[in-house]
Amino acid sequence: MTADQLKAVLDAHALWLKGEGAGQRANLHEADLRGADLREADLSEADLRWADLREADLSGANLRWANLHEADLRGADLSGANLSGANLRWADLSGADLSGANLSGANLSGAHLSGAQGIFDPCAWLAANCKRVRGGIEAYKTFGLYNQPPESWKQEPGAEISEVVNPNPTDDCGCGVNVATLDWVRRNNDEDLPIWKVLVKWEWMVGAVVPYGTDGKFRVPRAKLVEVVETTEVTP
């Protein structure tokens, strides 16, 4: 794709995002964009499935909710890019620079990340989002929000619940004791279920997995129920 053709696509996409009739959603499906200069480009919601973006400069680009399924992003500069909610299933991000990129809610299932720079630091995320308490960290969960818990899990203070953890951080959801920040639980507690405060002991953190695209949820091999948090308020 030539620079002029790419500019025309981006201009039409900008009009589409504004809801103007002359606009058109960017269709860059299987486009050859190797080495393209897309710095700070607004490609939110664009179709970039199977696009060849090797060595492309996407620093500061807005790729929110973009479809990058199986896109080739080897060596691409995605520093500071907004990839929140993006579909990156099976995308190849080998050697890409993801420094400062926003991957909140991104689907990275099956993505290749070998050699990627600035990749998400789970320890830093946990330190910034979870309260340290005596013996471990504090987290929250509900029971039955999406799936019924195993019968072996007792829902009472002091009970310990456990499950083998899916170790793949590119999977947003997976087996394990899924816990989250209080804000995440409130936002997703549409059924007004009791919210439990849980303790994740330091020794259990060894098997903890924080998904690269987390927006507040992570999974651990074991947690101890502390108490029900008395709140029914659901944050919009």
Q: What pLDDT is stored for residue 145 in this prediction?
A: 57
pLDDT digits (tens, 9 = 90+) for 17-72: 999 778 999 999 999 999 999 999 999 999 999 999 999 999 999 999 999 999 99
User: How far is Cα 146 from Cα 112, in angstroms, rounded to an integer?
Assistant: 28
* CB 175, CB 164: distance < 8 Å: yes
User: How far is Cα 28 from Cα 88, in angstroms, rounded to an integer?
Assistant: 15
User: How far is Cα 153 from Cα 163, in angstroms, rounded to an integer?
Assistant: 10
pLDDT digits (tens, 9 = 90+) for 54-68: 999 999 999 999 999
Domains in the chain: ranges and CATH: 1-119 (2.160.20.80), 122-229 (no CATH)
- What is the token pair recorded at 40? 């700070």
Indicate the range of 28-32, 112-116, 144-148, 174-178 predicted with least confidence. Answer: 144-148
Among the listed residues 49, 48, 50, the one whose alpha carbon sits nearest the alpha carbon of residue 38: 48
Amino acid at 61: A
> Across all residues in the chain, what is the average pLDDT?
91
State CA 230 to chain mean position distance.
29
pLDDT digits (tens, 9 = 90+) for 113-133: 989 998 878 888 898 999 999
Q: What pLDDT is stored for residue 176 in this prediction?
A: 93
User: How far is Cα 178 from Cα 40, in angstroms, rounded to an integer?
Assistant: 35
> Residue 194: exposed, middle, or buried by beta-carbon count in 10 A (0-12, 13-18, 19+)?
middle
Is 50 exceeded by the pLDDT of residue 234?
Answer: no
User: How far is Cα 39 from Cα 62, in angstroms, rounded to an integer?
Assistant: 9
> Is the alpha carbon torsion for 14, 20, 23, 27 positive or negative?
positive
- Entry pTM: 0.70
Residues 214-229 have a mean pLDDT of: 94
